[in-house]
Amino acid sequence: MKLEGKVAFITGSARGQGRAHAVRLATDGADIIAVDLADKLPACAPYPSATREDLDETVKLVEATGRRIVASAADTRDLDALRAAVGKGVAEFGRLDVIVANAGISAPAAWNEITPEAFRDVMDINVTGTWNTVMAGAQAIIDGDRGGSIILIGSAAGVKLQPFMIHYTASKHAVTGMARAFAAELGKYSIRVNSVHPGPVVTEMGSEDMVAAIAKAAESYGNQTLMNMLTPFLPSWVAQPEDIAAAVAWLASDESKLVTAQEISVDQGSSRY
């Protein structure tokens, strides 16, 4: 129970990595403030949207650990909505200690097929939404005067790159820099800020539809060799959401109390190839 008595605010909690983070942190003792869009994603995302039923299932799974959860449907692009969700959770639990900015989208396309709308949607959700998440919760951690941990979910694309996703790659590099910059300014409050960078993960974002969309973009571009850009060192090409949640749980705990401004890759070495 490394997180007993703590409260974590997690975005994109309805399924996939966000759900895994919520369940793992609850298993380690934290109460959860969960947020998810739980509604239609922008048209550029080639995979199904999470639903309110998905978010309700996360609630059930967290409660099954014996911990409490306050869940809200909100768009991370809406700072006021995020602040309301955090306020509701802090009113219920009395504190905030951890932020996991997990919500994001991916939209494969060759460079000359990315539309202005798709570029804007990816940047708004992955960059502005991440900034909004920190801004909605950081003051509550500061007010608690106990320090805390903020974890921004990046990608191997934010350490190296992901071909056929220029907007996604740009957004995740922004997340990497954002974590370092927040770490510098929030350090005086004993708040640590780090980014976690997964490779492929078995979620809706890593579904067959997503793989097919990347393959289609590669075919359109006419250079299949770029598909090997993120080749792993380890035998497994993909991770489970729980594998990423294990790294998040470590960063949320006091076991990583001296770790800040770091990019933690959980990608089987693929960003180093």
Positions annotated as catalytic residues are 168
**Could you tell me which of 11, 263, 15 has the C-alpha nearest to residue 129?**
11
Per-residue burial over 85-120, b if 16 or more Cβ lie within 10 Å, else e, is bbeebbeebebbbbbbbbbbbbbbbbeeebeeebbe
Look at the block and give the residue holding tokens 């035998």. Answer: 235
| 228 burial type by CB count under 10 A (0-12 exposed, 13-18 middle, 19+ buried) | exposed
Residue pair 53/15 in contact by the 8 Å Cβ criterion: no
**Could you tell me which of 201, 187, 113 has the C-alpha nearest to residue 150?**
187
In the sheet with 69-73, reading across from the earlier edge strand, the strands are 69-73, 31-36, 7-11, 98-101, 148-153, 191-198, 263-266
**Could you tell me which of 161, 181, 179 has the C-alpha nearest to residue 169?**
161
CA atoms of 268 and 248, how far apart (whole Å): 16
- ∠ CA 140-11-57 to the nearest 5 degrees? 120
| DSSP E strand boundaries for 50-201 | 69-73, 98-101, 148-153, 191-198
Residue pair 106/165 in contact by the 8 Å Cβ criterion: yes
Residue pair 83/33 in contact by the 8 Å Cβ criterion: no
